[in-house]
Chains A and B, each alone.
Chain A
Amino acid sequence: DAKTTQPPSMDCAEGRAANLPCNHSTISGNEYVYWYRQIHSQGPQYIIHGLKNNETNEMASLIITEDRKSSTLILPHATLRDTAVYYCIVRGGYSGGSNYKLTFGKGTLLTVNP
């Protein structure tokens, strides 16, 4: 798996957009970008994933640069409950015998302040 680089921590004001960056400069053509978050010591929770195009779901938006070397997770209106560690991961697609050694890294601790 390609490695990712994330800032160790970020702060955001409640109600504002939280923009979490991720660098994955060694990503290969068939690797997806996935985002998860972990609240306290609970099991990580899936947020969103994408390959090339920007993606949006009910939780967040994912912006992937044209060269695919970096991406940004956007929480449009952060709440206190969004305080968590956010992990950016790249992983291969399921077809074609991809590498399943997923590396989570240390993630970004997002603290949403009142």
Chain B
Amino acid sequence: EAQVTQNPRYLITVTGKKLTVTCSQNMNHEYMSWYRQDPGLGLRQIYYSMNVEVTDKGDVPEGYKVSRKEKRNFPLILESPSPNQTSLYFCASSTAGELFFGEGSRLTVL
């Protein structure tokens, strides 16, 4: 089954404790992306990757890092999380057409 898998789905952490949200897709898609969703602000793109070792900033990249060492994986790294990064995060992948989204990762930073 074609899918985008994110982990963890839920996480509560504390300020400054590094964390990684993993994203994996099984569709051999070149394009992958991360979004965050906050009440009243809709979905905002954090980073995207057009292929292995090719990444670029989206609209809200501050405080985040990404890497794309393999085609199937696109982890989102929060080196020093802060409370304003409390949000619902979505990973997505795509080829020439529709975006496939993961089920989301709800992150709370205390």
- Interfacial residues, chain A to chain B (CB-CB below 8 A): 34, 36, 41-46, 49, 87, 93-95, 100-107
- Interfacial residues, chain B to chain A (CB-CB below 8 A): 4, 31, 33, 35, 37, 40-45, 48, 50, 56, 58-59, 88, 90, 92, 95-104, 106
Report yes or no: B50 in contact with A100, Cβ–Cβ below 8 A.
yes
Of the candidates A36, A49, A93, A101, which one forms a contact with B45 in the assembled complex, judged by CB atoms under 8 Å apart? A101
Report yes or no: A100 in contact with B42, Cβ–Cβ below 8 A.
no
Of the candidates A42, A44, A95, A107, which one forms a contact with B99 in the assembled complex, judged by CB atoms under 8 Å apart? A44
Ordered by A's residue number, 14 sampled pairs between the chains whose C-beta atoms are within 8 Å are: A34-B98, A34-B99, A43-B4, A43-B103, A46-B98, A46-B99, A49-B97, A87-B42, A94-B31, A95-B96, A100-B50, A103-B45, A104-B45, A107-B42
User: Which residues in A have their C-beta under 8 angstroms from that of B104?
Assistant: 41-43
Report yes or no: A101 in contact with B59, Cβ–Cβ below 8 A.
yes
